[in-house]
């Protein structure tokens, strides 16, 4: 087919090619080949679907490594945002943050773990097209940023519609977890392999003690004190009831993965240098999963009126692996 026979984009493409020198055509062909190779190296979605939150349908996908994503356009739609905010202001040093978190008035309300986990992910759709997404589990954390900023009176009038969306999402996710929504929407739940316990534990439990990093922040303990009916902050700084340790074992470590709590205790007992349980988690995957779970737990704490209400939400959204009750806990704490 010659240029005269071509139409539309094909005609334009052939016209450009005809105007190129042999060297330019060779360079263009090389660049196209490199782009094709780069695309082929991107992880390809194994499952795709859309989650339903209120009147929203948000496209989502699961990658071969099990990472659950919300598409970039879906994420923007969920927050009532255009793909790119026009005339927005950025603050220095946070180029990895998504566009919807770069407004200067949001900076004081963005926790460090969100900065670490909110990087954009490039992948291929099941049809082979290039796509962009964000980890699904950051959606409630992003909502918290806007809700906290709104509570502090820091939002502009033009950001108020995002608060409405964030409230809708948080309330919906109080009843069903974001990961469960993505798994159900994509069908990943049905196909997910039953990983061997050893493989799961290898991803979570470190071979040696990790450097101490503040993991359980003030929001977690403030929620614990409030739900247990205790004054916060305590009269003696950092002095917490001893039974908080048993509660943390149940609401955090028993719900990370099968056998994690027992493996962490065993690793801690064998270590020459004792440390906190979370120091025995792997610095990469194990700690990342802990931070994800803690984010979910603190969100549920915030939405709960008392301890029984919190446990009802927690047991529904993040049940214990094996659904075994901790016999160390009193009935009222379960």
Q: Does residue 313 belong to any structural domain of this protein?
A: yes
Write out the residue range of the structural domain in which residue 145 sits. Answer: 47-191
Give the residue from 168, 191, 214 where a domain finishes: 191
Choose the weakest-confidence range: 49-63, 114-128, 180-194, 212-226: 180-194
151 and 60 inside one domain: yes
Model-level pTM? 0.47
Domains of the chain: total: 2
pLDDT of res. 240: 83
203 and 180 inside one domain: no
3-state SS string for the chain = CCCCCCCHHHHHHHHHHHHCCHHHHHHHHHHHHHHHHHHHCCCECCEEEEEEECCEEEEEEECCCCCEEEEHHHHHHHCCCCCCCCCCCCCCCCCCCCHHHCCHHHHHHCCHHHHHHCCCEEEECCCCCEEEEEECCHHHHHHHHHHHHHHCCCCCHHHHHHHHHHHHHHHHHCCCCHHHHHHHHHCHHHHCCCCCHHHHHHHHECCCCCCCCCCCCHHHHHHHHHHCCCCCCCCCCCCCCCCHHHHHHHHCHHHCCCCHHHHHHHHHHHCCCCCCHHHHECCCHHHHHHHHHHHHHHHHHHHCCCHHHHHHHHHHHCCCHHHCCCCCCCHHHC
Give the residue from 151, 170, 191 where a domain finishes: 191
- pLDDT category of residue 268 using cuts at 50, 70 and 90: low
pLDDT in tens, 63-100: 988 889 999 988 888 888 755 444 333 334 444 578 77
53 and 170 inside one domain: yes
Give the residue from 171, 191, 211 where a domain finishes: 191
- pLDDT category of residue 213 using cuts at 50, 70 and 90: very low
Predicted confidence (pLDDT) at residue 131 exceeds the cutoff of 70: yes
- pLDDT category of residue 226 using cuts at 50, 70 and 90: very high
66 and 176 inside one domain: yes
223 and 187 inside one domain: no
């Amino acid at each position: 087919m010659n240029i005269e026979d071509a139409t539309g984009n094909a005609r334009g493409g052939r016209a450009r090619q005809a105007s190129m020198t042999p060297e330019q055509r060779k360079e263009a062909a090389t660049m196209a080949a490199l782009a094709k190779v780069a695309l082929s190296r991107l992880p390809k979605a194994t499952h795709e679907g859309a989650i339903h939150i209120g009147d929203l349908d948000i496209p989502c996908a699961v990658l071969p490594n099990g990472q659950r994503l919300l598409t970039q356009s879906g994420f923007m739609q969920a927050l009532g945002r255009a793909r790119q905010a026009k005339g927005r202001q950025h603050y220095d040093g946070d180029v990895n943050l998504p566009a919807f978190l770069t407004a200067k008035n949001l900076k004081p309300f963005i926790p460090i773990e969100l900065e670490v986990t909110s990087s954009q992910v490039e992948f291929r759709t099941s049809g082979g097209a290039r796509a962009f997404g964000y980890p699904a589990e950051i959606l409630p954390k992003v909502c918290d940023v806007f809700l906290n900023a709104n509570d502090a009176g820091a939002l502009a009038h033009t950001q108020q519609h995002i608060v409405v969306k964030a409230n809708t999402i948080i309330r919906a996710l109080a009843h069903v977890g974001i990961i469960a929504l993505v798994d159900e929407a994509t069908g990943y739940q049905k196909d997910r392999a039953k990983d061997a316990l050893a493989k799961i534990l290898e991803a979570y439990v470190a071979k040696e003690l990790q450097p101490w990093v503040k993991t359980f922040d003030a929001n977690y303990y403030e929620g614990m004190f409030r739900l247990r009916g205790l004054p916060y902050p305590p009269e003696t700084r950092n002095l917490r009831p001893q039974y908080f340790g048993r509660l943390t074992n149940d609401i955090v470590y028993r719900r990370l993965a099968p056998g994690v709590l027992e493996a962490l205790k065993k690793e801690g007992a064998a270590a020459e240098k004792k440390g906190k349980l979370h120091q025995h988690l792997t610095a990469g995957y194990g700690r990342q999963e802990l931070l994800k779970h803690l984010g979910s737990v603190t969100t549920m704490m915030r939405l709960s009126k008392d301890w029984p209400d919190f446990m009802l939400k927690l047991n529904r959204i993040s049940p214990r692996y094996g659904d075994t009750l901790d016999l160390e806990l009193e009935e009222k704490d379960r």
